[in-house]
Amino acid sequence: MSEKILSVRDAIIERRSIKKFNGQSVDRGDLMAIIDDAVWAPNHGNREPWRLVVACGEELSTLHNLLRELAIPKWQELSSEDLAKQMTKFTLPGGYAFVIVPEDARQKERLEDYAAASIFIQNIQLLAWDKGIGSCWKTPGFLDNPKFREALKVQPGERVIAMLQVGYFDEAPKGKERKKSADIVTIFGE
C-alpha cells in the first residue's frame, strides 16, 4: 500500500495506466471501498448511470476461462506454454470491474450518461492509485459480444463500456508527453 499522501493534483498527474500487473490479488473490500467513493462523480439528474460486475478472488478463474474463450479463439491449438503466455494479460491483474451504463434512447441523456460514467471510472482509477493499486481501462471488442453480455447478465438497453483491470505492479510506465494549455486553448474572440 502506498504510504505517500497524494494531493488531487498528484493523483491526476502521476496516475499511469498499468498494463503489466504482478499477479498480487486485490482485496474485494478495498475495491468496494474505492467504488463507494467513486460514485461521487458528477452526473446529470443524479441518474447515477452505472453499475459494475466485479471479479476478484475465487471467481477470477471462471472469468479467465471466459476471457480465454472470447479473446483467444484458437486457444485449444496452442501449447500450454504459449497459452499461459498469451493469458498473462488476463491472469496477472488482481481484479476486474466491468462498468455497465444504460443506453438512453435520447441522445443527450445517453451522452451525458457516458460522460458521467467516464468520470466515475477515472475516480476509480485515481482512488485505486492512491491505494497503490494500478488500473487500466480497456475496451476489447468482446465487450459487445452476446456471449460475454450473457455471462455478465447485461440487459438489453445496457452497454459494457469498460473492462477495468486493477492490480498491483512492480513498475509504473513513464507518462507520455501531453499537449500544453497553449497548444489546445484559443482565447475567446481571438
Q: Which of 15, 19, 11 is nearest to 164 (CA)?
A: 19
As separate numbers, helices (DSSP H) first and strands (DSSP E) second, the chain gives 7, 4
Task: Considering the complex, state which of residue 42 and residue 140 has its C-beta at the smaller distance from ligand FMN.
Answer: 140
Nearer to ligand FMN, 45 or 88 (CB): 88
Interacting residues with ligand FMN (CB under 6 A): 16-17, 19, 136-140, 175
Query: Judged by CB, which is closer to ligand FMN: 17, or 145?
Result: 17
CB of 38 to ligand FMN, least distance (A): 15
| Least distance from ligand FMN to the Cβ atom of residue 154, Å | 18
Helix, strand, or coil (residue 83): helix
Minimal distance in Å, beta carbon 141 to ligand FMN? 9
Cβ atoms of 124 and 164 closer than 8 Å: yes
**Of 17 and 28, which CB lies nearer to ligand FMN in the complex structure?**
17
Least separation in angstroms between CB 123 and ligand FMN: 13
- Report d(CA 133, CA 148) in Å as an integer: 26
Q: Coil, helix or strand for 48?
A: coil
Contact criterion met (CB below 8 Å) for 100 and 161: yes
Task: Name the closest residue to ligand FMN (Cβ).
Answer: 17
Q: In a 3-state reduction of DSSP, which class is residue 70?
A: helix
